[in-house]
Structure 1
Amino acid sequence: MNPDNLLNNLHVEHPRLMLKNDRFSELKKLSETDTTLQSYVTKSIKEADKALTKPLLEHKIPDGLRLLGTSRDCMARVYALGLAWRWTGEQKYADNLLENILAVCNFPDWNPRHFLDTAEMSHAVGVAYDWLYPVLSETDRVTIQNGLIQHGLEPGLKAYAGTESYGWWVKCDHNWNQVCNAGLIVGALAIAETHPQYAQQIIPQAVESLPRALKMYGPDGAWAEGPGYWGYATRYTMFGFAALDTALGTDFDLLKIEGMSQAGLSPIYTTGPTGMYLAYADCGERPHHSPMASMFWLASVFNDPFVADAEHRLIAKTDRVSPQHVVWYVPQPNSEIAHPSLDKRFRGPVELALFRSAWNDVNALWVGIKAGYNEANHSHLDLGNFELDALGVRWARDLGSDNYNMPGYFGDQRWEYYRLISKSHNIPTLNGQEQDPSGTATLTQFDTTGTFPHAQIDLTKGYLNQTKSIVRGTALINNRRAVLVQDEFELSEKTNIAWGITTDANIEIAGTTATLTQDGQTLKAHILSPTGATFTVESAEQGPPEKTNEGVKRLMIHLPDQLNQARISVLFSPQWPEGDNITKTEVIPLSKW
């Protein structure tokens, strides 16, 4: 693109970012008849009222590294207070927001060494400047412009130029890319009519950088860093694209990148009936799918009523909504939305297979399994990991991430921490070793036809130099009322195999059967193969500084001194109240699935 022509179509008037006056007028009119929108606005204004009682934002780096908490607090206040002022016209909201924006513009810096902080603050200050523009004095405008330039845009230009070490994110392929590029795009467009040189320099470089990360949605919309970072990355993708669209009328064809149009399906499918995600990578503990305004944005730009309907249902269920849901509001479809298939395969750098017995049933059976590669940003050593929901309970779980500030968490001590290594996940280990940190796994089968929906993952390259071959199969059986997990090994030497799952349930062992009870429900696990194997129970608890995992258990199978070939086949049978709970099924070699 030609920087000289970049701003030819700039919407010169303010507000130009996210919510222009014509769209705002549409929302106001719609709210006269749309009671759902009315309720979202009411809750957003209540959030603004809470913001009025908070102390002034301060430059705080509590962990010695991140200003991010302050940046995110600022962003939340901008949307809450800014929307409340625009909706009600009450000056108290604008006054409070301006006071906080002037405060952050007078910070000594926005902590560019951890550039997420700088980018999020640039976004927040840019939107505040744009929305408050009509009531800003000339002195206030200059103060905010100078703060944005000095603390945000100038450090951003140094990042693109590669003259500062904190600019590494320009060439990365994960969430930092979207957050940093989008934050700078928003900040540059906010002051583009008075300081065009920043938009002319930043936007071309951001548009060049963004595809490195956006391609990671391809081809089906999932995200290698896990569902938690899907939310973060997609939120800032929304901010950046929406700013380009409202200010310039173009997204430079970035929305055409493969996978973007399918991205809204990812958090829906990776959420089990319990409301918890398939928690691969650095996902939080017991991570629940919470409402995200980016779902409305995706539903709008890709005309996807299923995604819009799913977000409305989630808001109704959780009673949580943000001011951004008002900004990107999409009415709930009037007619019943046909659900897509029960099962979904997400291809890409990290591959997922998801199966369920029903939609919109908290007691439904659901299983998710992960393939891909262990070098993905925020990845754990968890190739082949699965999680299982049934009867409203998460029976097989992932412990989630640990404290990012522990020594070497993102460095040379990463694979010393229990929650990140193979031994804490629902996968086999061989001779006590972890998976290869550079290992990969491929989803080789995904078949949802007939009465045996299943997936297979070739895990061999995830256990490099540990075995000749290891393949995991996962299937829903008995009319989607039970789950079969089967692992087959070709061994290159005498091998001790440890097979396990992590669970919060109470466990009683009776030989080849383990009875798991939790929240008044029961699931039975049956060893179908090998003959003579039995279950044992171990503790997943750890000592500080790691999270302690209090009360968490490991249901284990140990097979010592295995030679040549081995197979572990386990049937998970939820004890449905209506009966028909199977205890066995034929063990069929994976090659014949």
Structure 2
Amino acid sequence: MLNRYYSEFSLTSVAICLFFVLISQGIYAQSLPETVSKITEHPRLLLLKGEENAIRQELQKDTVRGRVNRAILTECDLILTQPPVERKMIGRRLLQASRESLRRIFFLSYAWRITGKEQYFQKCEKELLAAAAFEDWNPTHFLDVAEMTLALSIGYDWLYNGLSANSRDIISKAIIQKGLNPSFDPKYNGWLRGSNNWNQVCNAGITFGALAVYEQQPELSGKLINRAIESVLIPMKKYAPDGNYMEGYSYWAYGTSFNVFLISALEKIFKSDFGLSKQPGFLKTASFYEQLTGTSDMPFNYGDGGGPEGLQPAMFWFAEKLQDPSILYIEKENLLSSRFHVKSNRLLPAVMLWGRAIPVDKITVPTTLFWAGVGENEVAILRTGWDKNGIYVGFKAGTPSLSHAHMDIGSFVMDAEGVRWSADLGMQQYNSLESAGLDIWNMAQNSQRWQVFRYSNPSHSTLTVNGHHQSVKGRAKIIARSSDPQHTRAVIDMSEIYNEDLVTAKRGVAITGRKYVNVRDEIETGDSECTIRWAMLTPAKVKSIEGAQIHLVNKGKHLKMYIAGIEGAVFKTWSTDPPNNYDAPNPGTTLVGFELKVPAHTKKSFNVILAPGNEKMEVKNINLTALNEW
């Protein structure tokens, strides 16, 4: 039997393999450290033996992080009263059980290491053994396996020195048999070649498993570590050049967080991440994520984005790596407002591991008021400032063809005076659509995916032409931009998106004079007359419509909208009630806008002005400059 308190195994062969794999990939930028020759004793994942002492000491003087610590411990006390997680499938997924196991095990093992209280240890062991006893971890949906493997790896490693020989044996065998081994099966491991969050999450989970049980199967573990470092380069290359994450807000919180877990584990054990964090655009992605939160505290949730994620542990890793406290400006607000989401934020204890050298009172306000990310799913972020009263606009280019994308090209969200005016419905839970028999993962133009109300352009703050869907194969790019504080702006070319009906289609969004937002469209029709629908999704109430003017009210604040540049256009509203029985409800939202008919072979331009406040604006004084002069 292995010594329960110490185990040390050579990793020379692993290190040599890593060296040649990374050389062949062209990412290895430094000589391999001589210290990478032995694996450390347990605990070895994220928080080494004795490092919890530093956290305890810091908690005595860091009252802000102390709130997080207390929130975790309070939640652990509730978990003590609950039966262990059971293997319950929801549709084709075991993911809910895997995530709850990860949340409980990470919370409880952290609580035990910080407090030494036996009840946390005992409950964590029960959760570990319960998950280990599952018949499998559902390898047909490998995210379930990955998150469960991560959960058991952290628990096994952090509790290792207190576990009985029997518990160690059961848990480690489950990690190997139900986690690591299925990852070699071609039926289950297509994620190794993928460029989305699956690759990041699955490689992180499996690598944690390989590191946790290295003693039992060093050769197998070495292969898995090598494979992960090579494979995860595929999605990491997508961050280049600006840090734009192609799957948007919520999936950044998923894929990038697990990517950071992978890098952090490698750094902790090998004192090197083998060049991963130096991949072009990766460290820049923290700015991308920070910019996605508006002055209303709501995110720019394009595609399958959801609501506010709350405290984001990975951002503390980035801030520490970059030595940039301003990266944590939104996280500071989350800390001070206790937005910890203990019921859903299964990675929350990592906040106590990363970025501790940056005191909360040293976190500064970012200075960037314009951010744009080129790449496969381009976006632009415009703002007048970071205070709650400022104007914020998130503007979407890109393509509907990407993972988790919607037909939302040209759409925008807008905040002013701390209120969201133009919004996005975001994702609908997948199981509700899969249970209805819809093939929502088919990205073809005529796929059932685009029959879902929230996924198609008529539900977004963009154009719909002749009632048609946007072109899945089309791509919109940012063609002009400026950070001029008096006319902050971005212009995108949407012509490919509307090529079924239009010759050209361009949209510009600007914050002018730091006072109002100007949305300008320029289109040219083809051989047929076109009906253009301009729409904006809003959570505001319509107070009045007077022809080309509309007055919105939200949370006691006011917004006036004006149509400028065309004659005869009149504002109207459309319902967001679900058109199909499988569509999710959209309470409290309305579509506002107008329609106009444009003859064949005609160029037409029009502006919509969004002015915060209750004062009336003279539209005739608005500068309706053409986009090519922006």
Instruction: Please state if 1:548 is matched with 2:579.
Output: no
Q: How does 1:296-307 map to 2 (within 5 A)?
A: 296-307=316-327
Q: Secondary structure at the match of 1:501?
A: strand
Residue 522 of structure 2: aligned partner: 488
Q: Deviations over 1:422-451 (max 9, x none)?
A: 111111111111110111000011101252
Q: 8 Å contact 1:157–1:202 — kept in the other structure? A: no
Q: Secondary structure at the match of 1:468?
A: strand
Q: 8 Å contact 2:326–2:363 — kept in the other structure? A: no
Residue 557 of structure 1: aligned partner: 594
Residue 441 of structure 2: aligned partner: 410
Instruction: Please state if 1:420 is matched with 2:455.
Output: yes
CA distance in 2, matches of 1:392, 1:338: 17
Unaligned runs of 5+ in 2: 1-11, 19-35, 342-347
Residue 358 of structure 1: aligned partner: 385
Structure 2 letter corresponding to 1:517: V
Q: Deviations over 1:121-144 (max 9, x none)?
A: 011101111000011111111111
Residue 436 of structure 1: aligned partner: 471
Q: How does 1:203-242 map to 2 (within 5 A)?
A: 203-242=225-264
Structure 2 letter corresponding to 1:482: Y
Q: Secondary structure at the match of 2:337?
A: helix
Q: Secondary structure at the match of 1:312?
A: helix
Q: Deviations over 1:4-49 (max 9, x none)?
A: 7469534330100011125323222222322223332222211211
Give the drift of 1:510: 0.3
Q: 8 Å contact 1:275–1:288 — kept in the other structure? A: yes
Q: Secondary structure at the match of 1:264?
A: helix
Structure 1 letter corresponding to 2:269: A
CA distance in 1, matches of 2:588, 2:60: 51
Q: 8 Å contact 1:497–1:562 — kept in the other structure? A: no
Give the drift of 1:259: 1.2
Residue 401 of structure 1: aligned partner: 427
Residue 501 of structure 1: aligned partner: 536
Gap change, CA 1:434 and 1:319, over 3 Å in 2: closer
For 1:20, which of 48, 69, 75 is the aligned residue? 48
Give the drift of 1:88: 1.0
Give the drift of 1:249: 2.0
Give TM-score scaled by structure 1 length. 0.94
CA distance in 2, matches of 1:219, 1:177: 20
Q: Secondary structure at the match of 1:544?
A: coil
Give the drift of 1:303: 1.9
Gap change, CA 1:139 and 1:297, over 3 Å in 2: same
RMSD: 1.8
Give the drift of 1:319: 3.8
Instruction: Please state if 1:293 is matched with 2:313.
Output: yes
Instruction: Please state if 1:108 is matched with 2:135.
Output: yes
Residue 371 of structure 1: aligned partner: 397
Give the drift of 1:228: 0.5
Residue 332 of structure 2: aligned partner: 312
Gap change, CA 1:366 and 1:18, over 3 Å in 2: same
Structure 2 letter corresponding to 1:534: V
Q: 8 Å contact 2:510–2:518 — kept in the other structure? A: yes
Q: Deviations over 1:393-416 (max 9, x none)?
A: 211111111231212222331011
Q: 8 Å contact 2:64–2:336 — kept in the other structure? A: no
Give the drift of 1:329: 4.4
Q: Secondary structure at the match of 1:223?
A: coil
Residue 350 of structure 2: aligned partner: 324
CA distance in 2, matches of 1:560, 1:308: 48
Higher alpha-carbon deviation: 82-91 or 192-201? 192-201
Structure 2 letter corresponding to 1:112: P
CA distance in 2, matches of 1:575, 1:35: 39
Structure 1 letter corresponding to 2:523: F
Instruction: Please state if 1:121 is matched with 2:158.
Output: no
Residue 608 of structure 2: aligned partner: 570
Structure 1 letter corresponding to 2:599: Q
Gap change, CA 1:386 and 1:302, over 3 Å in 2: same
Structure 1 letter corresponding to 2:483: T
Q: Deviations over 1:494-523 (max 9, x none)?
A: 211111111122222101101111211111
CA distance in 2, matches of 1:199, 1:270: 38
For 1:451, which of 475, 482, 486 is the aligned residue? 486
For 2:105, which of 78, 101, 104 is the aligned residue? 78
Q: Deviations over 1:23-81 (max 9, x none)?
A: 32322222232222333222221121121112111111032x11111111111112211
Residue 50 of structure 1: aligned partner: 78
Gap change, CA 1:419 and 1:315, over 3 Å in 2: same
CA distance in 2, matches of 1:582, 1:535: 17
Gap change, CA 1:469 and 1:271, over 3 Å in 2: same
Residue 208 of structure 2: aligned partner: 186
CA distance in 2, matches of 1:404, 1:256: 34
Structure 2 letter corresponding to 1:189: L
Unaligned runs of 5+ in 1: none
CA distance in 2, matches of 1:2, 1:467: 60
Instruction: Please state if 1:62 is matched with 2:82.
Output: no
Q: 8 Å contact 1:255–1:261 — kept in the other structure? A: yes
Give the drift of 1:195: 1.7
Q: 8 Å contact 2:548–2:569 — kept in the other structure? A: yes
Q: 8 Å contact 1:267–1:289 — kept in the other structure? A: no
CA distance in 2, matches of 1:220, 1:487: 27
Q: 8 Å contact 1:222–1:266 — kept in the other structure? A: yes
Q: 8 Å contact 1:500–1:557 — kept in the other structure? A: yes
Q: 8 Å contact 1:404–1:410 — kept in the other structure? A: no
Instruction: Please state if 1:592 is matched with 2:620.
Output: no
CA distance in 1, matches of 2:383, 2:233: 33
Identity of aligned residues (%): 33
Q: 8 Å contact 2:241–2:280 — kept in the other structure? A: yes
Q: Deviations over 1:562-581 (max 9, x none)?
A: 331111211111116xx695
CA distance in 1, matches of 2:589, 2:490: 28
Residue 134 of structure 1: aligned partner: 161
Q: 8 Å contact 1:430–1:498 — kept in the other structure? A: yes
Residue 61 of structure 2: aligned partner: 33
CA distance in 1, matches of 2:585, 2:310: 25
Q: Secondary structure at the match of 1:261?
A: coil
Higher alpha-carbon deviation: 35-44 or 51-60? 35-44
